[in-house]
Structure 1
């Protein structure tokens, strides 16, 4: 008689989604999304889940009923690039707006012909003979009614993390990114350097230096430090200190780099999205060794 044990059947793969597992756990469960949200609140009160988990789960539930049109940046607020602009104009716009991707149009803003990556502009510095059209990547167009769940799946499935939103008449309605979608789940994505508009943009530090945000206006820097900042070429005009210094340095500054202008020493503290978020500023004569 054989002592061979019967072969163990392989475990069947559990293909249930997280929400399906959660719903079964809560069985008989709520009959609507509103009731499910109330149940999650009760679970938090009973210390079954944490507050952050509840907020994220609520975001997932609410997102299921949301569309691209509800979350997009409206067309009137979109930062775009004109294919007909010179390299200098393009670079100024990229530095000032600090995005990593830009819709590119030709003629009129409705005629979007592709997406320009800010980092690709650096290729033009090394090979000026390149045609900027060769750097464009395909633009993705979606309807206003596209659900955020479906859009997030598309974003995860390809390398396009930005889409142009089109209205029912085929006109450009706005722009949406993967960050816009994720913020519906986790809330606004910020870092330790992000501040509210009413909190200011120049701060005094304990070592008698200053922390200055890159988007601070040049006029404000002039007033606070009693200087007169201007580009080496009088014809070049900039609105922000970050744009001016990046132009004078000839490249997008990296953390730790410094530049001296008008008797002030600017050290890059933090960058984000291809632009300087914060400088440490001190009089050049007091520069620490």
Structure 2
């Protein structure tokens, strides 16, 4: 009596062996074919254009595109691009009396403060505002015992790397130093995240932030995009037109015909305005120097 026939595939039967593997191979071939016919973008600009096209075709939401663009642009930015400059930093003096320190904390509304001793360049620690309240309960405590170790980063520190460090060491603020080892400013994890998600407003943000102009280490000036043309004229002793525009950012955008991108420059009234940081459809910071004196050669 013959044994019943079974449908078990033979080893050489390719039609029944590993059907899932065959599907995976086919998908892999399909993916490779698509990549061959439609190669991906070769540059950051092309990638951003691809995202814009995806939004236009309603494949992604506008908010998602903005965040993805922020992540892409952040890859080429440094701590120096985003930091709060040293002249705008709110610092606490280790030798100030408790009432003065408390008043400054209440007035500024920050949760963390760099603390200096002697000069503003000599930052010895970071103070949490909530820790200051401990002195009220125990006046015998020394303010030094409440300080936390400061984190120092160079201006050239990439934002991607800085964000990873913020996450790994659980710090929220770092002191930015220039190439000479002097304090250039400070940067917070909020500053980095704002490059991705946009401006993060809180109850302590001022409605009318004052513009500022200050000197960089190389002798050039760093000018806020919303600085008034009047203040720029006073600082540089120039005669930029003050009638049609209120801010220097508006004047530069008008002269160029659009909002300039980071790294672009335009010469106006004897000054060269180089964009250090542009965000949200406006220039946040310019680096301003004297425009080079270009003399046309005289034909003989």
Q: What TM-score comes out, normalization by structure 1 length? A: 0.58
Counterparts of 2:183 and 2:203, CA distance in 1: 34
Task: Kindly indicate whether residue 131 of structure 2 is the aligned counterpart of residue 107 of structure 1.
Answer: no
Match of 1:65 among 68, 76, 80: 76
Residue in structure 1 matched with residue 138 of structure 2 by the alignment: 127
Q: Flag as ranges the 4+ runs of structure 1 deviating above 6 A.
A: 192-195
CA-to-aligned-CA distance 1:31-62 (integer Å, 9 cap, x gap): 00000000000000001000000000000000
The change in CA–CA distance for 1:169 and 1:181 in structure 2 (over 3 A counts) is same
Task: Kindly indicate whether residue 162 of structure 2 is the aligned counterpart of residue 147 of structure 1.
Answer: no
Counterparts of 1:116 and 1:155, CA distance in 2: 17
Q: What is the CA distance between 1:27 and its match in structure 2? A: 5.7
The change in CA–CA distance for 1:181 and 1:131 in structure 2 (over 3 A counts) is same
Q: What is the CA distance between 1:196 and its match in structure 2? A: 3.9
Task: Kindly indicate whether residue 165 of structure 2 is the aligned counterpart of residue 180 of structure 1.
Answer: no
Aligned-pair Cα RMSD in Å:
2.0
Q: What is the CA distance between 1:149 and its match in structure 2? A: 0.1
Q: What is the CA distance between 1:160 and its match in structure 2? A: 1.1
Residue in structure 1 matched with residue 99 of structure 2 by the alignment: 88
Task: Kindly indicate whether residue 48 of structure 2 is the aligned counterpart of residue 37 of structure 1.
Answer: yes
The change in CA–CA distance for 1:114 and 1:45 in structure 2 (over 3 A counts) is same
- Worse-matched range after superposition: 50-59 or 151-160: 151-160
Match of 2:172 among 122, 146, 161: 161
CA-to-aligned-CA distance 1:226-276 (integer Å, 9 cap, x gap): xxxxxxxxxxxxxxxxxxxxxxxxxxxxxxxxxxxxxxxxxxxxxxxxxxx
Unaligned runs of 5+ in 2: 1-7, 9-34, 210-300
Quick check: 2:41–2:47 contact (8 Å CA) kept in 1? yes
1:160 match: secondary structure: coil
Counterparts of 2:171 and 2:71, CA distance in 1: 22
> Which fold has the larger relative contact order, with Cα–Cα distance below 8 Å and residues 6 or more apart in sequence?
1
Quick check: 2:86–2:183 contact (8 Å CA) kept in 1? yes
Task: Kindly indicate whether residue 70 of structure 2 is the aligned counterpart of residue 46 of structure 1.
Answer: no
What does residue range 212-227 of structure 1 map to in structure 2 within 5 Å? Answer: none
1:105 match: secondary structure: strand
How many corresponding residue pairs?
Answer: 175
CA-to-aligned-CA distance 1:44-99 (integer Å, 9 cap, x gap): 00010000000000000000000000000000000000000000010011000100
Counterparts of 2:170 and 2:67, CA distance in 1: 24
Q: What is the CA distance between 1:159 and its match in structure 2? A: 1.8
Q: Which has the larger radius of gyration?
A: 2
Q: What is the CA distance between 1:131 and its match in structure 2? A: 0.4
Quick check: 2:109–2:204 contact (8 Å CA) kept in 1? no
Unaligned runs of 5+ in 1: 4-23, 199-289
